[in-house]
Amino acid sequence: MQRFKDRREAGKLLAKALYSYQGREDVLVLALPRGGVPVAFEVASALGAPLELLIVRKLGVPGHEELALGAIASGNVRVLNQEVMAALGIRPETVEAVAAREALELARREQLYRGSRPMLPVAGQLAIVIDDGIATGATMRAAVRALRQLGAARVLVATPTSARDSAEMLRHEADEVVCLATPEPYHAVGLWYEQFEQISDNEVRQLLELAVRHSRKSHEA
């Protein structure tokens, strides 16, 4: 496949694939920071929808942190992998200890990116959750389950590029998956962008603030 120039271009192309959702009052676009934010900003702008962040923190098994026993997310959501917990005999107090540590980092990022502004309500909304690409799909899977717990009416996963098996797995989790390209072999998200610089915390804040200003102007108009 032809690579995307950068995340902003990918977002504009993704917005075209989501055109049918333009102008709807029940649409909420959520970005997985940091890489998903520039993509989601373009989508939210094109659809005339508010932009929000959904921060997800994996709960790693102590000593084997690459293995997730669950995740926590914005909105005080906790998703647990009962199969992993049962197979490894993980006790509830272990889960609490790991969750408490990750909750501190989640709260730090919430404050850093969102400040004192409360999270926009998800309940009853069509939630479009966006990342710049999906490799294993573990984080996005947790994001979908978190949005279910927050009461989203429908959950749509949207991304410019994904590993094919991950996209298929997510079709069983979300109500809809919109993905522009599933190249094989996949290897890594960054391979499918010409420019894939790390997104700074400052850029995340700036784009979120700009989206809030755009949303206010559209409601005043």
What does the pLDDT look like over 18-45, one tens digit per residue? 999 999 999 999 999 999 999 999 999 9
Does 63 score more than 80 pLDDT?
yes
Which residues partner with 126 through β-bridges? 27, 154
User: What is the pLDDT averaged over residues 69-88?
Assistant: 90
Position of tokens 């573990």? 138
> Residue 66 pLDDT > 90, yes or no?
no
Digit-coded pLDDT (tens) for 81-96: 888 899 999 999 999 9
Across residues 209-213, what is the average pLDDT? 89
Domains and CATH numbers, the chain: 7-55+117-220 (3.40.50.2020), 57-114 (3.30.1310.20)
- Pick from 43, 58, 52: nearest CA to 178: 43
Return all residues near 106 (Cβ < 8 A) that are at least 6 apart: 55, 57, 72, 73, 74
176 CB burial (10 A radius; 0-12, 13-18, 19+) = middle
Return the pLDDT at 110.
92
Closest CA to 40 of 217, 210, 191: 210
Please report the pLDDT score of residue 74 as a whole number.
92
Give the pairing type, strands 64-73 and 56-61.
antiparallel
Which one has a higher pLDDT value, 221 or 140? 140
Q: Which of 73, 147, 139, 149 is nearest to 106 (CA)?
A: 73
For 94, the token pair is 């272990």
Classify strands 56-61 and 176-181 as parallel, antiparallel or unpaired: unpaired
For residues 195-213, give the mean pLDDT.
93
